[in-house]
Structure formats: C-alpha cells, structure tokens
C-alpha cells in the first residue's frame, strides 16, 4: 500500500514530501458523486491523508474527508483546519462552488499552510484565488496541478501565495496553449476531440519553468 511505502521512505529521508490528490469524487450540477466505493473513504481519512504533507482535494472531497459541508468561505477555512488536524501542513481546495464576486465565469480555490516559526510557534497562511473557468474537458490536469504545486512549494516553502500563483498561472498557460492547438487541429467551427485536447506540456516547458503571473492570490 502507498502508505507503507511513504512511511518507509520517510524513515530513510525525513525531508521527503508526499503530495496526495485524494481522488474520491466531484460535484455535478450541485450534487456530489463518488468515483470510488464508499468503504475507501475511511482508508483515505485514517491512513492516507495523515501521512501526506500536501493534499489537493476539490470541495466535495474536502467535505468527505472532514465530514463537514462548505457553504461559505468561513466554512471552507474551518474544513481546512480539520484537514490540517489529520496531518497535512498544506491544504489546497482546488475548486469550489462558492460564488465569486467576479461572476459565474469564475471558480474559487482556497489554500492553507501551517508552518513552524524559528521560535517554535505555528503560523497559518491562507489564500484565495478567483480562477476563470475553461469550457473544455482535459485529462491529467489534477496530476499536473499536484506536480507543479509540489515544485513551487519546494521553491517557496514559506510563501503559499507565490507558490499557488505560479502553479495556477502555469496551468492557465498550458490550458490556453492546449485549446489553441486543439482548435487548430479540429478545424474552424468543430469541437476538439479528447485526443486533440491532450495537454501540451512539452510545448509549454518555458511557462511551466517560469510562468508569467496572470492569476493573483489574495491573502486572507
């Protein structure tokens, strides 16, 4: 089991960072639905999440893991506190159905990071991002997000705001390039196929390595 592997590796290297994207389900038209059998939920909650350093659930997954519903930003922050208590130092709710002041074309992502000050006391940094929705379906975006969040939190271990801005901005550039290439392949007026919407990561190498910041995070 992955938990055993992570624990063994952390015994060999205490600085190892494990990122968990708890793929449990999602909401469609306001209704949540699980991708996996319900009996896997306690396995994630009691075994997998506690050994993770970073977790990247969507709103529905955060609700499942915490046992609490999210109807407001305050409730989302409380849910992230519950998830912190399970073990992870960094929690990013990658998408939510909370209303954005920018309108229905935007979704809200929230992040929270707990870290220890030199004097031993704990500090919590919280951020919020309003992200423009993309009218397309891709495969692999969750993996790419988790990988880039790992990279940017490693480069900016004490600045969740910057790490998330670079992660989400890089995602923006990759998705926009993917859409442009897919539309060109599909032809004018035709909807791109899933194969044509394969993420253009190689073509986006520079944007992944040094993304122009196009999505700002607000510190809460």
Average pLDDT of every residue of the chain:
96
Residue closest to 60 by CA, chosen among 88, 125, 136, 44: 44
- For position 183, what pLDDT does the model report? 95
| DSSP string for 100-169 | PTT-TTEEEEEEEEEEE-TTS-EEEEEEEEEEE--SS--SSHHHHHHHHHHHHHHHSTT-HHHHHHHHHH
Catalytic residue among 97, 105, 143, 207: 143
172-216, pLDDT tens digit by residue?
999 999 999 999 999 998 999 999 999 999 999 999 999 999 999
Taking the CA atoms of 157, 161, 164 and 167 in sequence, report the sign of the dihedral they define.
Answer: negative
Q: How far apart are CA 200 and CA 179, in angstroms?
A: 9
58-117, pLDDT tens digit by residue?
999 999 999 999 999 999 999 999 999 999 999 999 999 999 999 999 999 999 999 988
- Enumerate long-range contacts of 100-105, CB under 8 Å, 24 or more apart: 100/130, 101/130, 102/130, 105/132, 105/133
Residue ranges of domains in the chain: 2-219
pTM of the shown model: 0.93
- For position 118, what pLDDT does the model report? 87
Residue closest to 212 by CA, chosen among 170, 149, 180: 170
- For position 1, what pLDDT does the model report? 83
Catalytic residue flag (residue 81): no
Q: Please measure the distance between the N-terminal and C-terminal CA atoms of the chain and give it in whole angstroms.
A: 37
Domain spanning 2-219: CATH 3.40.1190.20: yes
Q: How far apart are CA 173 and CA 203, in angstroms?
A: 10
Helix, strand or coil, per DSSP, at residue 27 = strand
User: C-alpha distances in angstroms, 82 versus 91, 105, 126, 147?
Assistant: 10, 29, 14, 24
Token reading at 147: 């990988």
Q: What is the mean pLDDT of residues 26-52?
A: 92
Q: How far apart are CA 189 and CA 69, in angstroms?
A: 41
Taking the CA atoms of 37, 146, 79 and 104 in sequence, report the sign of the dihedral they define.
Answer: negative
Token reading at 123: 């500090």
Q: Is the distance from CB of 178 to CB of 197 less than 8 angstroms?
A: yes
């Amino acid at each position: 089991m992955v938990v055993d592997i992570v624990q063994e590796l952390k015994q060999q290297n205490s600085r190892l960072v494990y990122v968990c994207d708890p793929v449990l389900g999602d909401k469609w038209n306001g209704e949540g639905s699980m991708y996996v059998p319900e009996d896997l939920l306690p396995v994630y909650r009691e075994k997998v999440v506690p050994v993770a350093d970073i977790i990247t659930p969507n709103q529905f997954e955060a609700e499942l893991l915490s046992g609490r519903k999210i109807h407001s930003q305050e409730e989302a922050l409380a849910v992230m506190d519950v998830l912190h208590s399970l073990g992870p130092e960094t929690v990013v709710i990658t998408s939510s159905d909370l209303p954005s002041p920018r309108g229905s074309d935007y979704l809200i992502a929230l992040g929270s990071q707990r870290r220890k000050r030199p004097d031993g006391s704990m500090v919590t940094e919280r951020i919020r991002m309003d992200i423009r929705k993309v009218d397309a379906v891709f495969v692999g975006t969750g993996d790419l997000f988790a990988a880039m969040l790992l990279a940017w939190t490693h480069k900016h271990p004490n600045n969740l705001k910057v790490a998330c801005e670079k992660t989400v901005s890089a995602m923006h550039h990759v998705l926009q390039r993917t859409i442009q290439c897919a539309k060109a392949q599909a032809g004018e007026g035709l909807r791109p196929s899933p194969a044509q919407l394969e993420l253009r990561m190689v073509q986006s190498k520079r944007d992944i390595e040094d993304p122009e910041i196009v999505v700002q995070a607000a510190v809460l």
